[in-house]
């Protein structure tokens, strides 16, 4: 595609997978399916943990936040992506691109920090069970969430504002399916070394530092689990922590490979598929991972479905 053909178009052009028209049809179906799974699964987790009194604990408070975050994260990307996949129009307005850039960066940063907060919650629950509810008080949990959202917002405002202020010399073609920060930096017509170094530095703060804290937490958790005399206690601890560790491995593994590698060894298409994985696939897997490995969540879901079924059945009997 000739970039000069688009220089007069207001906004930006998202090339996405336009070089592979047959792939676009397949991807539109796959993305739609995973988006629906994300909506249904994360909504179920939020409603179940709110309606079941047994799940009014710090762990499920943070899980609700993660589910809400995943809903917002995917919704900021998928609708525009489906519009571009379904038709020949690959444009996105300037305002739409700016909003997507800020929101995407903000929510992605939140997830990095939130997973670290969730690991601290698991560390406290397993290593200090007698003081767990005292330490993880509702006030502290709320304060931690507010701090995570505010710090991530500040990071998004700084990085995205610097990126948008870079001169583009009329270039408006993004070789991606969303307005992502690295894609925006690439179309700048000036030296971007300073911005790239800042992105890398903040990447260490928001990715490697939380990951280090998570690994340290799980080191203490593993030691505490091995010291447990109860096999049932060990099994429960491994199930709850295993779910979180699985999510951490998928999310951080992809993020580190994408953004913290030396050089740019991945092809454009490989980068797009990796971004597709952690922005579309991972949020749909989180509900499955947390419910399939979590006995309390499975029981709460069954109870909720049974109550809903009995309520519907009662209404039908009353009408007849």
pLDDT in tens, 163-205: 999 888 878 889 888 898 888 888 888 888 888 888 888 878 8
Chain-centre distance for alpha carbon 52: 25
pLDDT of residue 2: 47
User: Model's pTM, two decimal places?
Assistant: 0.85
Please list, in sequence order, all residues whose beta carbon lies within 8 angstroms of the beta carbon of residue 304, skipping any fewer than 6 positions away: 47, 48, 51, 52
What pLDDT, in 10s, does the model give residues 11-43? 888 888 888 888 888 989 999 999 999 999 999
How many Å separate Cα 149 from the centre of its chain? 13
DSSP string, 102-148: HHHHHHHHHHHHHHHHHHHHHHHHHHSGGGHHHHT-HHHHHHHHHHH
Give 13's strand partners. Answer: 91, 173
HSE-up of 3 (CA within 13 Å, CB side)?
Answer: 11
The 10 Å CB-count burial string (b at 16+, else e) for 255-280 is beebbeeeeeeeeeeebbebbbebbb
pLDDT interval class at 161 (50, 70, 90): very high
Nearest alpha-carbon partner for 66 in 239, 209, 250: 250
At 293, phi and psi to the nearest 5? -100, 0
Residues pairing with 12 in the sheet? 92
By residue count, the chain amounts to 320
- What ranges make up the beta strands (E) of the chain? 12-14, 91-92, 173-174
Percent of the chain with pLDDT over 90: 34
Token pair listed for 305: 């479905």
Contact between 134 and 99 under an 8 Å Cβ cutoff? The reply is: no
Q: Which residues contact 157 (CB under 8 A, 6 or more apart)?
A: 102
pLDDT, position 251: 84
Judged against a pLDDT cut of 90, whether residue 139 lies above it is answered with: yes
Pick from 187, 147, 146: which is nearest to 163 by CA?
187
Burial of 184 (0-12, 13-18, 19+ CB in 10 A): buried
- Please write the tens of the pLDDT for every residue from 41-97: 999 899 988 988 888 899 999 999 999 999 999 999 999 999 888 878 888 999 999
Of 110, 124, 109, 150, the residue nearest 57 (C-alpha): 124
Cβ atoms within 10 Å, residue 310: 10
Measured CA to CA, the distance from residue 189 to residue 185 in angstroms comes to 9
Q: How far apart are CA 201 and CA 115, in angstroms?
A: 20
């Amino acid at each position: 595609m000739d970039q000069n053909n688009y220089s007069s178009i207001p906004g930006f052009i998202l090339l996405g997978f336009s070089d592979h028209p047959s792939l676009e049809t397949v991807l539109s179906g796959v993305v739609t399916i995973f988006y629906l799974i994300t909506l249904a699964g994360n909504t179920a987790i939020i409603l179940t943990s709110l309606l079941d009194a047994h799940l009014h604990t710090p762990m499920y408070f943070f899980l609700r936040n993660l589910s809400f975050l995943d809903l917002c994260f995917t919704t900021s990307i998928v609708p525009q992506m489906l519009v571009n996949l379904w038709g020949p129009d690959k444009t996105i307005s300037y305002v739409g691109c700016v909003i997507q850039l800020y929101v995407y960066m903000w929510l992605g940063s939140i997830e990095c920090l939130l997973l670290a907060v969730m690991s601290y919650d698991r560390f406290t629950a397993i290593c200090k069970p007698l003081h767990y509810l005292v330490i993880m008080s509702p006030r502290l949990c709320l304060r931690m969430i507010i701090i995570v959202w505010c710090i991530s917002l500040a990071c998004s405002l700084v990085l995205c504002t610097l990126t948008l202020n870079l001169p583009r010399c009329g270039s408006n073609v993004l070789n991606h399916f969303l307005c992502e920060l690295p894609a925006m930096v690439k179309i700048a017509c000036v030296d971007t070394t300073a911005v790239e170094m800042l992105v890398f530095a903040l990447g260490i703060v928001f990715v490697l530092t939380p990951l280090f804290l998570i690994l340290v937490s799980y080191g203490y958790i593993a030691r505490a689990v091995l010291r447990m005399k109860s096999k049932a206690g060990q099994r429960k601890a491994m199930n709850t922590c295993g779910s979180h560790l699985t999510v951490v491995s998928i999310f951080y593994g992809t993020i580190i490979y994408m953004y913290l590698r030396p050089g740019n060894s991945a092809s454009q298409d490989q980068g797009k598929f990796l971004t597709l994985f952690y922005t579309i696939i991972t949020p749909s897997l989180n509900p499955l991972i947390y419910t399939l490995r979590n006995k309390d969540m499975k029981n709460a879901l069954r109870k909720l479905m049974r109550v809903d079924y009995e309520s519907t059945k009662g209404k039908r009997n009353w009408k007849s």
